[in-house]
């Protein structure tokens, strides 16, 4: 029996959690076993920005986050063991809520072993994000990023991004939305059984690679997807805007093997530049270090003095 983890990032029995539960109940009916994990129950520390995970990855190390003493590893172990993942998060200020963004930042330090396990045992994944209005445009690509960073190699099969649900539990008024969440759950359960045959079945945005709708103009009719960074050609066919990417364009998308390699090479080159300029940095840093101490509230100053 395939195991699916449902990660709830919003309020207890909030709109997102209700749709997530609906998806999990449908997945169970389709034969999966499901676990609900609530991010609010877990202690997840902020990323400190030390970048030891990325430096480890590019230099052959384990690439694991060095922050200890919280529930991050426990959560990642649940996700790594599962064959399916559904993440549900409320939309705050156009993007998924901060609690999930904190976890996303930490997921950079998932570690080489989990990354390789994910690629050799791809799980199926889907996202739910509910907002109170139509301010929801940036949630879709960020939810996609969350899925593929929490669950490396995951085949994203669906995304349900819904606006207009501002009051607690009001998704229960919308039969269509409840059925849509159930369908998402069934898709994850079916895909988790046969991930090698699984494919994306959710809404189709203009980008043929990541299916989002965020296209940035370049020169002339060239453009690039702001999310997956695949370049391509814009045209109008039968009155509809089209974005066509050649196989060579697709090779350069940021989440493919070449894109990942190019990204790591860029970071390696930036570290080399910094190492070569170390003396100059040390010299130029002096006035910045001498520049005034930050204003802090009494509570923080008290902590330092205690
Ligand atoms: C701080 C904050 C910011 C919000 N920003 C947005 C927003 O940008 N777009 C939107 O559609 N809804 C926004 N909302 C509304 C919530 O997304 C909406 O109420 C949602 O149903 C909450 O989900 P929950 O019931 O699962 O917690 C915001 C709510 C809060 C608390």
Q: Could you read off the pLDDT of 94-149 as tens digits, one per residue?
A: 999 999 999 999 999 999 999 888 888 889 999 999 999 999 989 999 999 999 99
- Looking at domain 3-197, its CATH architecture is 3-Layer(aba) Sandwich (3.40)
| 125, 156 contact by CB (below 8 A) | yes
The pTM of this model reads 0.94
pLDDT of res. 304: 64
CA pair distance 81, 177, nearest whole angstrom: 29
* Mutational test site, ligand 1, from 132, 162, 170, max ligand atoms within 8 Å of CB: 132
CA pair distance 164, 207, nearest whole angstrom: 25
Rounded alpha-carbon distances, angstroms, from residue 295 to 224, 285, 291: 42, 20, 12
The per-residue pLDDT for range 167-212, each reduced to its tens digit, is 999 999 999 999 999 999 999 999 999 988 899 999 999 999 999 9
Q: Which of 205, 186, 192 is nearest to 140 (CA)?
A: 205
Q: ∠ CA(98), CA(99), CA(105), 5° rounding?
A: 80
CA pair distance 26, 106, nearest whole angstrom: 30
Is residue 91 lining ligand 1, measured as CB closer than 6 Å? yes
Which is the closest atom of ligand 1 to the Cα of 14? Answer: 25
Q: How far is the CA of 100 from the centre of ligand 1 (A)?
A: 13
Rounded alpha-carbon distances, angstroms, from residue 277 to 54, 58, 114, 269: 20, 20, 34, 12
**Residue whose tokens read 């939305």:** 177
Is residue 166 lining ligand 1, measured as CB closer than 6 Å? yes
The per-residue pLDDT for range 74-106, each reduced to its tens digit, is 999 999 999 999 999 999 999 999 999 999 999
């Amino acid at each position: 029996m395939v195991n699916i983890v449902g990660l709830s990032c919003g309020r207890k029995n909030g709109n997102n959690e209700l749709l997530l539960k609906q998806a999990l109940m449908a997945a169970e009916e389709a034969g999966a076993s499901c676990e609900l994990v609530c991010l609010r129950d877990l202690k997840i520390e902020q990323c400190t920005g030390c970048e030891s995970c990325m430096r480890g990855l590019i230099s052959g190390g384990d690439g694991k986050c060095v922050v200890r003493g919280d529930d991050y590893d426990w959560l990642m172990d649940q996700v790594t063991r599962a064959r399916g993942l559904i993440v549900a998060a409320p939309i705050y200020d156009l993007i998924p809520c901060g609690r999930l963004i904190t976890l996303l930042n930490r997921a950079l330090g998932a570690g080489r072993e989990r990354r390789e396990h994910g690629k050799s045992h791809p799980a199926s994944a889907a996202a739910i994000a509910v907002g109170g209005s139509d301010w929801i445009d940036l949630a879709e690509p960020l939810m996609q990023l969350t899925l593929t960073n929490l669950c490396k190699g995951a085949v994203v099969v669906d995304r349900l991004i819904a606006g207009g649900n501002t009051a607690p539990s009001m998704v229960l008024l919308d039969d269509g939305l409840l059925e849509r969440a159930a369908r998402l759950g069934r898709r994850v359960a079916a895909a988790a059984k046969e991930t090698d045959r699984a494919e994306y079945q959710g809404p189709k945005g203009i980008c043929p690679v990541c299916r989002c709708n965020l296209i940035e103009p370049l020169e002339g009719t060239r453009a690039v997807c702001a999310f997956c960074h695949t370049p391509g050609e814009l045209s109008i066919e039968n009155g509809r805007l089209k974005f066509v990417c050649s196989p060579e364009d697709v090779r350069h998308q940021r989440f493919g093997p070449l894109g990942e390699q190019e990204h790591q090479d860029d970071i390696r080159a930036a570290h080399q530049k910094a190492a070569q300029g170390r003396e100059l940095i040390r010299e130029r840093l002096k006035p910045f270090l001498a520049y005034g101490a930050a204003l802090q509230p009494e509570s923080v100053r008290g902590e330092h003095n205690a």
